[in-house]
Chains A and B, each alone.
Chain A
Amino acid sequence: MSKGSLSKLIETLSERLLTERREYLATLIETSSSLILALLAGGIVLAVLGYDPLNVYNILFRYGFGNITYLLDKSTPLMMTGLAFAIPLIAGLFNIGGESQLYIGAFIALLAAYYTHSHVIGILAGTIAGGLLGAFIGILRVYRGINEVISSIMVNWIFFYLIIYLISGVYYNPERPHESIPIPKDARIYPISNISVIFAIAVLASILYYIILFHTDIGYKMRVTGLSTASAKYAGFNPDLSMIYSMLLGGAAAGLGGALLVLGMTYSIDDMLSAVYGLGFTGIGIGLLGRLHPIGIILASIFFSGLLIGGQWVELKTGAPPELADTLIGVIVIALAIPYVYKLLVSRLIQRRVIE
């Protein structure tokens, strides 16, 4: 790179920082003040319940963010379900179905890896399965006018019981009947010298989503659709198609999350689905915490899993009930997300009222 173009690059970057500094600054102030408020609110809850807030926070953050490999492993499926919620919302849809899209991704990846002994095929199969399930909900919304929240919730339960049936009745492990058939050893994904490979794959996927959103016509059309359907129609885009794409991409993210989880962490699914249950719902919080931005979601998922891990240590060390840690995490996440979610809901609801 020549000296001229380098200085030009610096110039544009600094110009960008200057012109957008108001927004960056606002976001920074908003986030840090929310975090302080969140910790204060959580501290009050702890103090009222008779725990020492400083001690609890010390355990929460020290142990939560202590084991990096575990932390990143744990944040992998959450990052993906965060995207599964965020991408459709960018196009204006509430995808509550990250849950079932993750189940199906995990289960199909398990079957594919079991029969082919290939993690690559497992990942692809899981991703496609999640994407198709997401697209199905999008298609119902667009062509049948079925509210995606309602169909998502119903589909979640259908797949919850269907997969429990399949694992306990068909694909169970004869040696351990409460578990599914395992991922063959040669298809498992292991960390390479303590670096979480599944996390790296998830980060790559997030970057890919970032590129799709901000550097391709598909993403551009989805964003226009989410901000204003009338503008999308005016520009000659098909808002219906954008919505279906967003659900396809969102579902694929959750499916990938499920595949990575089963191929790289659990290696099988138990017949109560306790390994996969709830990850999709948690993704809603991650998506909002990450401000619907793929890069923000990477950070949010790490932060959130740190809290989850630390929360378990709090239970262990202080003898507090698990609900305490959950409450604390809930308070922190809500306080962090509230300003953004409020703005988002107001604008999206107004937009929806205008169309319908």
Chain B
Amino acid sequence: MLPEPIIEMENIIKIYPDGVVALKGVDLTIWKGEIHAILGENGAGKTTLMRILYGEIKPTSGAIKINGEEVDFHGPWDAIKRGIGMVYQHFTLIPTFTVLENLHLSLLALDESIKAEDVETLTRRLMDELGLKIPLYDVVEDLPIGVQQRVEIIKTLLRKANILILDEPTSVLTPIEVEELFKMLRKLKKLGITIIFITHKLREVKAISDRVTIMRRGKVVATLYTSKVSEEELARLTVDIDLTSKPKIRGGIRGRRILSINDLWVRDERGLDAVKGVSLELYEGEILGLAGVQGNGQKELIEAIVGIRRAYRGSIKYLDQDITSLSVGDRYKLGISYVPDSRNIGLVYGMNLTENSILTNLHNYLSGIRVINWSEAYRTADKIVREYNVVAPSLRSPIQYLSGGNQQKVMVGREATREPKVFIVSEPTHGLDVRATRFIRNMLVKLRDLGKSILLVSTDLDEIMELSNRIAVIYGGRIMSVGDKNEYTIKKLGLLMGGIHEQRITK
């Protein structure tokens, strides 16, 4: 039987108003009744593509056909009418409503006169068909995440969706919940529902999908039958191996051990273990690259090192001092600095450039009676602007008026100007153009050569390979592997980041 295309997206281009090109001409064909995985790193354009399909954002150009018929969506409601349903990474349920109330609410959007009893009958019929149970009268926020996700899926099915888009559905689930989800998806497939499954986990692609489309930097690299590719091949295709600019790592003189982390355990916002017994050491004059797919505990780990988050077990030592219970400010004063992955956190929008350039170093600008010495602050801002080639209208410009790259330079420059001994940077070049990226990377190398210790957290393997002296890979809150840079290849990193152990690779 010939496969019948249900969705055809042709030459989709998306350029955001700020000039960022998210999709550079993407073609995607989804067949009726298949489970189609879309695989790619962060920023590859997976979610943008799906949001275009769901009518949430409009493509700059390109055509979308559903069942062979060209469509022009003005919003998700148009997509819903065409039988497309989307389940986001973050659920859109009302936490204080019961399951039934949530379902009722979502159906009201389609049919204003529908009664709660009708919703209940419909839902029970659907649940029988699928052979699963969810408690209709329980309040949503009391339910486990896996069940909430099931409610989301039921919600889209009740709206008669026959194409289901799941955006990184497993990122919030425990392994057992993932199994349950896969069982449900297979059942849906039997009922003839087409499923698009966005992920960056290789194993899941192999486990659930019929075909897989691999995206990289806004382009489709390949669409393949999953059964015909190995995890290694997938890893190679997902990760950009176009390493034109060769890493120029001078050996780096490794000095004293400056930071030692011992069996650290940290919980995330939901109270689940995000960091599970991590031990790491950082030396003077080295860049330690921490590679991993986003959401594997990197954020919690570095926040614990900086002191923003408490570690509930384990210890952090700075030189010979135990700093596990020191405050953030005290750790900064000792010589630790941190550039977060989000400029939303590292900079204060609504404040100007100068105000932002003293954020993490306020105590150095205070005179006796807690008065801020603004002329000193202006000097610092001026220094940052000049040394880091920040393009800004003035030192008093609100920081949000600067371009992303210049904001990043201010943030990185601020931390570097403080002359810290330990420099923790997270995704320092995320979303930057080539020149700004080059600039920041050169700066990190320069700092390293000055004998600073740098912990570089990045999901960009190029960056890790280019800059690191040593590399550690984190997966599921555990360090999979630590070693000298030379011991790793991009391919090996990709597998480790996907949670596949070294023993299996060497076999």
Contact = CB atoms under 8 A, between A and B. Distances in A.
B329 A236 contact: yes
B348 A236 contact: no
Interface residues of B, number: 33
Contacts of A228: 344-345, 348-349
A336 to B, nearest CB: 22
B370 A231 contact: no
B327 interface: yes
Interface in B358-375: 359-360, 362-363, 366, 369-372, 374
B371 A236 contact: no
Contacts of B332: 236
A186 interface: no
Interface stretch (B33-41, B157-165, B393-401): B393-401
Contact of A236 (B307, B346, B369, B374): B307
Nearest to B394: A19
Interface in B367-426: 369-372, 374, 393-394, 396-397
A27 to B, nearest CB: 13
A64 B371 CA distance: 40
B241 interface: no
A218 B366 CA distance: 11
B458 to A, nearest CB: 19
Interface in B158-181: none
Contact of B328 (A215, A224, A227, A233): A233
Nearest to A16: B396
A223 interface: yes
A20 B392 CA distance: 12
B372 A220 contact: yes
B229 interface: no
Contacts of B347: 231
Contacts of B286: none
Contacts of B355: 220
B346 A231 contact: yes
A228 B330 CA distance: 21
B350 A227 contact: yes
A175 interface: no
B109 interface: no
Interface in A178-206: none
A236 B327 contact: yes
B374 A215 contact: yes
A330 to B, nearest CB: 29
A237 B308 CA distance: 10
A20 B396 contact: yes
B340 interface: yes
Given A15-B394, A215-B371, A217-B366, A235 B360 contact: yes
Given A20-B396, A231-B344, A236-B327, 19 more contacts: A19-B397, A215-B372, A216-B369, A217-B366, A221-B362, A223-B348, A223-B351, A224-B359, A227-B350, A227-B351, A228-B344, A231-B345, A231-B346, A233-B308, A234-B308, A234-B359, A235-B328, A236-B331, A347-B350
Interface of A: 15-16, 19-20, 211, 215-218, 220-221, 223-224, 227-228, 230-231, 233-237, 347
Interface of B: 307-308, 327-332, 338, 340, 344-351, 355, 359-360, 362-363, 366, 369-372, 374, 393-394, 396-397
Closest 9 CB pairs of A and B: A236-B328, A236-B329, A19-B394, A227-B350, A230-B345, A235-B359, A231-B348, A216-B370, A217-B370
25 contacts: A16-B394, A19-B394, A19-B397, A20-B394, A216-B369, A216-B372, A217-B362, A217-B366, A218-B370, A220-B355, A221-B362, A223-B348, A223-B351, A224-B359, A227-B349, A228-B345, A228-B349, A230-B344, A231-B344, A231-B345, A234-B340, A234-B359, A236-B307, A236-B327, A236-B332
